[in-house]
């Protein structure tokens, strides 16, 4: 059945809460309101206030309480109402949740999922538009995912809930209602840590994830139609652990790689991807690895300014043409 990205996440929550009574949801306005974006709509009626819990506006409390519940055998799904405010829970995530298994010699686990609606292009300005994934992709003990399709949004959330490690699950707000896809009604999961080739090509590879996947696919179609450039598009899906073999295979296949993400250029995961390729596939390259990302500035409220600082389809097409001509 064809459903939206938002509905896919909602279905995953319903199914996992029915499957396992230890799964519960906690966050700001997740119960009575059904979430700021209606992602948790219907959960309160289906599972009651003991499993769908509204919290104070206190992200550190949400994650801290979730860690405690997870240590006692529960599987909390914790919502950051906007991904920007995950910074308020940074200490609980990186110093408590991520280190818990190591600190206890593998005898304890922390099966929490932290849902973080992120991304720009919705005119959310400074505090409701950020892509903070790179803050977490260098932390041992965490898994970080960023699905871009309804199928992956559902399957990866179900896999994250069943995982015994803390998973930070970034869902791009712009995708909530803008993309639809046929998603199976039966139980399925999408494995974490495995990238997927979304479009096969021979001349140039785009490596991307999350909110820029669909822009990259559109750009690849334009480049082939107008310029005859055959572009492969690799969707990372998981950012920690990275599917290094898939990245290197893309680089070795085409010899030219463009990394695209909506996070800022400096310190974004694109730099790590470029380093991996430079270290392990340099002899296959016909051009330097190129990155296209958000400018190193704050998110703008003004639509023209926001458009100026963000990557988009036209900018990807221009980057593809420039890299192809190298």
- Catalytic positions: 128
CB 258 within 8 A of CB 232: no
- Give dist(CA 301, CA 308) in Å, integer: 11
Spatial neighbors of 321 by CB under 8 A, at least 6 apart, are: 223, 227, 229
- Give dist(CA 213, CA 217) in Å, integer: 6
CB 309 within 8 A of CB 300: yes
What order of strands is seen across the sheet that includes strand 52-54?
Answer: 52-54, 23-27, 75-79, 113-118, 167-172, 143-145, 238-240
Virtual torsion, Cα 167, 172, 173, 179, nearest 10 deg: -120
Which tokens is 266 given?
Answer: 């400096």
Q: Are strands 52-54 and 23-27 parallel, antiparallel or unpaired?
A: parallel
- The full length of the chain comes to 326
CB 82 within 8 A of CB 33: no
């Amino acid at each position: 059945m064809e459903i939206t990205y938002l509905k896919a996440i909602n279905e995953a929550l319903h199914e996992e809460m029915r499957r396992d009574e230890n799964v519960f949801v906690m966050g700001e306005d997740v119960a009575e309101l059904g979430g700021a974006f209606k992602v948790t709509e219907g959960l309160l009626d289906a599972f009651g206030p003991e499993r769908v819990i509204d919290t104070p506006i206190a992200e550190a409390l949400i994650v801290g309480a979730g860690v405690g519940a997870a240590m006692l055998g529960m599987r909390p799904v914790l919502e950051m109402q906007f991904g920007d405010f995950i910074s308020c829970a940074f200490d609980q995530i990186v110093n408590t949740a991520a280190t818990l298994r190591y600190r206890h010699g593998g005898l304890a686990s922390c099966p929490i999922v932290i849902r973080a609606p992120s991304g720009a292009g919705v005119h959310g300005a400074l505090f409701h538009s950020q892509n903070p994934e790179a803050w977490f992709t260098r932390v041992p003990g965490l898994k970080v995912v960023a699905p871009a399709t309804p199928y992956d949004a559902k399957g990866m959330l179900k896999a994250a809930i069943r995982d015994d490690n803390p998973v930070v699950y970034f869902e791009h707000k712009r995708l909530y209602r803008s993309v639809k896809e046929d998603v199976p009604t039966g139980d399925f999961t999408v494995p974490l840590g495995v990238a997927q080739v979304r479009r096969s090509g021979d001349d140039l590879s785009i490596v991307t994830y999350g909110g820029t996947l669909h822009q990259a696919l559109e750009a690849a179609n334009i480049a082939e139609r107008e310029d005859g450039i055959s572009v492969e598009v690799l969707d990372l899906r998981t950012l920690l652990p990275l599917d290094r073999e898939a990245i290197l295979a893309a680089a070795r296949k085409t010899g030219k790689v463009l990394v695209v993400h909506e996070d800022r250029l400096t310190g974004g995961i694109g730099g790590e991807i470029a380093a991996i390729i430079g270290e392990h596939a340099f002899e296959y390259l016909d051009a330097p690895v190129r990155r296209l990302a958000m400018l190193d500035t704050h998110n703008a409220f003004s639509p023209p300014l926001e458009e100026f600082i963000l990557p988009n389809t036209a900018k990807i097409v221009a980057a593809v043409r420039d890299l192809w001509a190298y």
